[in-house]
C-alpha cells in the first residue's frame, strides 16, 4: 500500500443523487459513470441497491460496463441489504460492499432503537457476512463525529476483526471542525488494533462549509481515502467537493505531498456533464468549476492577468479543462481590459481615442449590468470602424 497515494472514492451517483433535484435515471448514471472513469476516480459508489429497483439496475449495469475502478454498492448492516448489494455487484471486476451502521447514541436510541451491545454484534455479523461474498468490504459508523469516541473505536474494532478492508469515518451531518476531526482519526489509528492493515477513509458533509477543510485535516492525521462528489452535490449542503480536494492536492504539493489518479483536465467537462444531467449548474462563485472561477472584472485584476495570469490565478484554466480565463467588462473594469477586447473585435484604440471610448464605456456600465460586444461596438468612433473595415477588406 502506497501511503502517499490518496484514493478518490466518488459518491456522486449515490450520496450526490440523494440531494433534492439530483435524481438520475439508469442510463444517465451510466453516462456519468463513464465520465467519472475518464476523470480517474479510484472507487465509484454506483448506488444503494436495496433502495429501489432503479438503483439496483443502475449498480448492476455500471458493474458490468465499467471495469477499471472499484464499483461499490451501499448496504445497511443487514443480510437482505448485503445480498441485494452483492446481486447488483457480482459482475464487477472490482466489487466492494459498503456497509453502514450508526454509532452515535442519538441514532442508536432514536432511529434504530438498539443498544450499543446490539450495534457491536450487528456490525461484526454484517461485515463477516459481506466478506463471505466479497473480499473488499468497507464499514462506515454513521454519525461518527457525534459518537462517544471510545464506543466508536470499539465499533471500528469489531468491523476490523470481522474483515473490513476500509474503515470510513463519516462526518454525516457536517458537525465537526478540522482540529477535532483530525483528533478523531488519530484516536482511531491509535486505539484500534489492526487498523494499519486497512485504509482509513473520510466522508465529510458541508453543513458548516468545512467539508473540504475537514477532509484535508484527516489526510494530515493519516486518512488515505477521500469520499467526495462532483460539484459538491449531496444531502443538505452537499458533500466534500471532488474538484476542490483534487486541485488543493495539485496546487499545494509542497504542503500536501500526495499523489492521486485524477486527470485534472477532465474536471470541468465532468462538472458540465453532471450539470446537464441534473439540470442545474454550480453557483457562479463555486471554486474551480463555477462560471466566475476564472473571470475577472476589477480593473487592477484585469491589468495583472493581461500582464501575467499568475498575478491573480493560482492554477491555469486549462489545467482543469476550461478553455481560458474571462475578462468580464463592467463598471470595475479598466482601460487595459477594454482596449484588449476592442482589439480582439478588430478595433485598435490607444491614447486619447481609448480614453474617450473608456469614458463612454463607464457611463454605459453604470447603467447596465451586462456589457455585450454589440454595446462596445456602439462606443467605437466611426473613423475606427471604417479603418477596421478597410483593413478587413484588404486582408
Q: 119-166, pLDDT tens digit by residue?
A: 999 999 999 999 999 999 999 999 999 999 999 999 999 999 999 999
Q: Give percent of the chain above pLDDT 70.
A: 86
In DSSP terms, 32 is beta-bridged to none
- Cα four-point dihedral sign 301, 305, 309, 315: positive
- Cα four-point dihedral sign 207, 213, 219, 224: positive
Range of lowest pLDDT (13-27, 159-173, 301-315): 301-315
Contact 210, 174 (CB under 8 A): yes
Tell me the three cell numbers of residue 250.
495539485
287: helix, strand or coil: coil
Q: 48-98, pLDDT tens digit by residue?
A: 999 999 999 999 999 999 999 999 999 999 999 999 999 999 999 999 999
Does position 385 have pLDDT exceeding 60, yes or no? no
What pLDDT is attached to residue 137?
98
Tell me, rounded to whole angstroms, the distance of Cα 5 from its chain centroid.
Answer: 18
In the DSSP assignment, the letter for residue 235 is S
Whole-angstrom Cα distance, residue 118 to residue 152? 14
Report the predicted TM-score, pTM, of the whole model to 2 decimal places.
Answer: 0.83
Does position 297 have pLDDT exceeding 50, yes or no? no
Does position 278 have pLDDT exceeding 80, yes or no? yes
**Location of C-alpha cell 432503537:** 113
- Average pLDDT score, the chain: 89
The pLDDT of 292-315, averaged and rounded, is 59
What pLDDT is attached to residue 45?
98
What pLDDT is attached to residue 376?
72
Contact 78, 84 (CB under 8 A): no
Whole-angstrom Cα distance, residue 243 to residue 251? 12
Domain with CATH 3.20.20.70 in the chain: 7-278
What pLDDT is attached to residue 254?
93
Q: 183-242, pLDDT tens digit by residue?
A: 999 999 999 999 999 999 999 999 999 999 999 999 999 999 999 999 999 999 999 999
Residue 265 CB partners (closer than 8 Å, separation 6+): 318, 319, 320, 321
What pLDDT is attached to residue 363?
81
What pLDDT is attached to residue 360?
81
Cα–Cα nearest to 375, from 363, 383, 386, 387: 363
Contact 290, 283 (CB under 8 A): yes
For the chain, the helix, strand and coil percentages under 3-state DSSP, each to the nearest 5 = 50, 15, 35
What pLDDT is attached to residue 355?
82
What pLDDT is attached to residue 121?
98
Does position 271 have pLDDT exceeding 60, yes or no? yes
For helices 116-131 and 149-162, the axis angle rounded to 10 degrees is 30
Whole-angstrom Cα distance, residue 133 to residue 150? 30
What pLDDT is attached to residue 131?
98
Does position 285 have pLDDT exceeding 70, yes or no? yes
In DSSP terms, 102 is beta-bridged to 142
Whole-angstrom Cα distance, residue 230 to residue 77? 27
DSSP E strands in the chain: the ranges are 7-10, 43-47, 70-76, 95-102, 137-142, 166-171, 199-204, 225-228, 295-296, 326-327
Whole-angstrom Cα distance, residue 203 to residue 225? 9
C-beta atoms surrounding 353 within 10 Å: 16
CATH of domain 7-278: 3.20.20.70
137: helix, strand or coil: strand
Range of lowest pLDDT (180-184, 283-287, 309-313, 351-355): 309-313
What pLDDT is attached to residue 292?
75
Phi-psi region of 103 (alpha: psi -120 to 50; beta: other; left: phi over 0): alpha
What burial letters (b/e) apply to 364-395, b meaning 16+ CB within 10 Å? bbeeeeebeeeebeebbeeebeeebeeeeeee
Q: 346-375, pLDDT tens digit by residue?
A: 677 777 888 888 888 788 777 777 766 666
Whole-angstrom Cα distance, residue 201 to residue 196? 12
What pLDDT is attached to residue 141?
98
Contact 304, 333 (CB under 8 A): no
Contact 179, 143 (CB under 8 A): no
Amino acid at each position: 500500500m502506497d501511503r502517499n497515494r490518496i484514493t478518490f472514492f466518488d459518491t456522486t451517483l449515490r450520496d450526490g443523487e440523494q440531494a433534492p433535484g439530483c435524481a438520475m435515471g439508469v442510463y444517465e448514471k451510466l453516462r456519468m459513470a463513464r465520465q467519472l472513469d475518464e476523470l480517474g476516480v479510484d472507487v465509484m459508489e454506483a448506488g444503494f441497491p436495496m433502495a429501489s429497483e432503479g438503483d439496483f439496475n443502475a449498480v448492476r449495469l455500471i458493474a458490468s460496463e465499467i471495469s477499471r475502478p472499484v464499483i461499490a454498492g451501499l448496504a445497511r448492516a443487514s443480510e437482505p441489504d448485503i445480498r441485494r448489494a452483492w446481486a447488483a455487484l457480482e459482475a464487477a471486476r472490482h466489487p466492494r460492499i459498503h456497509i453502514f451502521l450508526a454509532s452515535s447514541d442519538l441514532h442508536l436510541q432514536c432511529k434504530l432503537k438498539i443498544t450499543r451491545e446490539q450495534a457491536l454484534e450487528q456490525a461484526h455479523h454484517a461485515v463477516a457476512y459481506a466478506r463471505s461474498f466479497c473480499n473488499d468490504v468497507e464499514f462506515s459508523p454513521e454519525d461518527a463525529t457525534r459518537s462517544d469516541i471510545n464506543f466508536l473505536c470499539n465499533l471500528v474494532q469489531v468491523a476490523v476483526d470481522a474483515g473490513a478492508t476500509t474503515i470510513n469515518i463519516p462526518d454525516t451531518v457536517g458537525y465537526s471542525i478540522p482540529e477535532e476531526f483530525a483528533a478523531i482519526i488519530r484516536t482511531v489509528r491509535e486505539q484500534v488494533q489492526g487498523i494499519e492493515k486497512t485504509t482509513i477513509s473520510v466522508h465529510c458533509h458541508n453543513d458548516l462549509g468545512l467539508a473540504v477543510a475537514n477532509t484535508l485535516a484527516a489526510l494530515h492525521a493519516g486518512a488515505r481515502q477521500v469520499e467526495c462528489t462532483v460539484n459538491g452535490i449531496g444531502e443538505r449542503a452537499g458533500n466534500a467537493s471532488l474538484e476542490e480536494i483534487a486541485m488543493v492536492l495539485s496546487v499545494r504539493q509542497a504542503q500536501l505531498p500526495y499523489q492521486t489518479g485524477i486527470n485534472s483536465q477532465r474536471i470541468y467537462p465532468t462538472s458540465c456533464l453532471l450539470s446537464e444531467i441534473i439540470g442545474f449548474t454550480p453557483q457562479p462563485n463555486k471554486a474551480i468549476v463555477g462560471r466566475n472561477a476564472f473571470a475577472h472584472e476589477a480593473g487592477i485584476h484585469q491589468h495583472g492577468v493581461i500582464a501575467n495570469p499568475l498575478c491573480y490565478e493560482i492554477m491555469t484554466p486549462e489545467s482543469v479543462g476550461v478553455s481560458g480565463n474571462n475578462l468580464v467588462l463592467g463598471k470595475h473594469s479598466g482601460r487595459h481590459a477594454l482596449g484588449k477586447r476592442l482589439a480582439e473585435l478588430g478595433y485598435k484604440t490607444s491614447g486619447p481615442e481609448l480614453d474617450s471610448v473608456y469614458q463612454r464605456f463607464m457611463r454605459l456600465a453604470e447603467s447596465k449590468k451586462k456589457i455585450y460586444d454589440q454595446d462596445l461596438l456602439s462606443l467605437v468612433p466611426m473613423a475606427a470602424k471604417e479603418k477596421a473595415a478597410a483593413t478587413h477588406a484588404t486582408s
